[in-house]
Amino acid sequence: MLNRPVLLIGSNYANESREVELVVRQVLGDCELRACSSVTAAINTIRRDEWFPDLVVISQTWSDEFSRDEVENLISECALARMIVAYGPWCDSDGRNRTTWPLAVRVPLWLLESRLLREVDVLSGRLEPLPLTANREEIFEFDRGHDQTNARLEAGRIGPVEVVLDISDPDLRDSVAAQLVDEGIRISRSDDVSLRIYDADVDQTADGLGLAGMPECATAGRSVISKLASADALADAIFRRK
For the segment 8-61, what is each residue's pLDDT rounded down to a tens digit? 999 988 888 899 999 999 899 888 999 999 999 999 999 999 999 999 999 999
CA angle at residue 223 from 222 to 227, to 5 degrees? 135
Is the pLDDT assigned to residue 206 strictly greater than 80? Answer: no
Q: Work out the percent of the chain whose per-residue pLDDT is above 90.
A: 36
pTM of the model: 0.63
**CA distances in angstroms from 33 to 36, 56, 85, 119, 209, listed in the order given:** 10, 10, 16, 15, 33
Mean pLDDT, all residues of the chain? 78
Chain length of the chain: 242
Q: Where in the chain is the domain with CATH 3.40.50.2300?
A: 5-153
Of 20-34, 48-62, 82-96, 192-206, the poorest mean pLDDT is in: 192-206
Judged on CB neighbours under 10 Å (0-12, 13-18, 19+), 217 is middle
Is the pLDDT assigned to residue 157 strictly greater than 80? Answer: no
Q: What mean pLDDT comes out for the span 76-98?
A: 85
pLDDT confidence of residue 168: 74
Is the pLDDT assigned to residue 151 strictly greater than 70? Answer: no
Is the pLDDT assigned to residue 139 strictly greater than 60? Answer: yes
pLDDT confidence of residue 208: 37
Q: What mean pLDDT comes out for the span 55-80?
A: 94
Highest average pLDDT, of 39-43, 123-127, 162-166, 209-213, comes from: 39-43
Q: Give yes or no for a contact between 239 and 157, defined as CB atoms under 8 angstroms apart.
A: yes
Is the pLDDT assigned to residue 111 strictly greater than 60? Answer: yes
Banded model confidence at residue 200, pLDDT cuts 50, 70, 90: low
Q: How many CB atoms lie within 10 A of CB 145?
A: 11
Banded model confidence at residue 224, pLDDT cuts 50, 70, 90: low
Superfamily of domain 5-153: Response regulator (3.40.50.2300)
Of 69-78, 84-93, 123-132, 169-178, the poorest mean pLDDT is in: 169-178
Banded model confidence at residue 119, pLDDT cuts 50, 70, 90: very high
Q: In terms of pLDDT, which residue wins out, 183 or 46?
A: 46
Banded model confidence at residue 212, pLDDT cuts 50, 70, 90: very low
Q: Give yes or no for a contact between 86 and 58, defined as CB atoms under 8 angstroms apart.
A: yes
The number of angstroms, rounded, from the C-alpha of 11 to the middle of its chain's C-alpha atoms is 17
Q: DSSP assignment of the chain, as one string?
A: ---SEEEEE--TT-HHHHHHHHHHHHHH-S-EEEEESSHHHHHHHHHHHT---SEEEEEE-STTSS-HHHHHHHHHHTTTSEEEEEE-GGGTTHHHH--SS-GGGEEEGGGHHHHHHHHHHHHTTSSPPPPTT--HHHHHHHHH-SSHHHHHHTTT--S--EEEEE---HHHHHHHHHHHHHTT-EEE--TT--EEEE-PPTT-STTS---TT-SEEEETTEEEEETTS-HHHHHHHHHHH-
pLDDT confidence of residue 138: 87
**CA distances in angstroms from 223 to 105, 109, 195, 237, listed in the order given:** 32, 21, 5, 10
| Ramachandran angles phi, psi of 202, nearest 5° | -60, 130
Q: Work out the percent of the chain whose per-residue pLDDT is above 70.
A: 71
